[in-house]
Structure 1
Amino acid sequence: MAKIVVSSMVSLDGYTEGAGGDVSQMPMDRAFAQHNADRVRAAGRLLFGGTSYRGMMQYWPDQVDNPEAIPEDRYIASRYATDLSLTVVSDTLTEDEVTVWGDRTEIVRRTDAHDRLRQLRERETDDILVFGSRTLWTDLLAHGLVDELHLLLGPKVVVGDHRAFDGIPPLGFDLLGVRTWKDSSVVVVTYRPDNVAAPTDRGVDYN
């Protein structure tokens, strides 16, 4: 059984992006990259909304052979290029827009998303990992379809447009782990929502 894992940076004032949807305003340092690479190592599938997926198509293909890219980004780019499966929940994305990774990308309409993700969660064993895609993961969280929530708390106030947890009903969480880095002010806090039965009772593996 797979886990649906959300990994999202959140500013101190509770946003996942700056004003106007500008993600470059988030304090994404080397710790951010290291944590993302570790989560990709545990994943067999990435899950996105349409907007985030379009952004990934623009960024990651150029990092595979980029000599200036950090090792973590080159690793993530290589997984995109070779073996990761990708699921995109979108009512607007078309197959013609998928210019890379087309043989490993499935597009799922919103009305079918919950059923499809339950199927994938039952059939697969590696993590199903969500990056970005705030609208998608908050919907999944509200409907009991997130097994782990990794919040990378970034040391910045960004005054964005939409707070991370807008629209989510009252919900409790169990703490699974906390991660820090000697040379970074980013803190990763990992929770299990109390509205979903986790596939495993073990702690978070950061190796």
Structure 2
Amino acid sequence: MNSSLHERLKPVATLLDTLLPIARMHAVAALDAMHATPTKNKDIYARCLRTALRELLLDSDLPQYGWVVVDKSNSLHLFDQKAGLTIRFLKAFDKEGSIPPAGSNNARRRAWSQTSLFDQHDDTDDRPQSLWGIELVCTWVEDDEQITCRVLQPISTGQWPDRAEAKTIMTLSHAVERTDFDDISFNGTESNAHGTVEEERLSIRTSPQQTQTRSKAQ
């Protein structure tokens, strides 16, 4: 997998580092106002978290990196205008952070049936690999200690009750008690979403000067 994918995902990872804890706080507060909890009302919590993250990304510096939030108020999709890459955010199918099966949705079935980025690589070809039209999925799963996001490339539609097959591109683990990601890593070899892989480690630490979000209150 070429380095251009890593470079295009870095600003998204950096913004998630800053914004995901805030989005979680907003989502928990919204549930509290409804006298609900994340553990007992998981679907509502997932929608609140995704909505809060969407609003924060819309008000962030994401466009300066070439990324935009797609205009779909009932979902969260990011589009890379420079490379043609798409990321959609979905609640994880299971506690391992898997992608749900595509179901009967035609758009999902097309996106879930891609050739693996790993399979497209040719070691004898030094030209940058095109990312145009590639669709990735960012899933999240949360327990008492941390929330983990995984950016994956789906490569099969899957069939209920089984998950869709996917390749893990990037993993971000955030401790619920703290305000920064414990670890951000890119997968450097072919793997599925559940296998043990060699990883290219990428450490990203965000300071207020590096990533700023614009408040609507200003």
What TM-score, normalized to structure 2? 0.32
* TM-score w.r.t. length of structure 1: 0.33
Pair member with larger Rg: 2
Higher helix share: 1
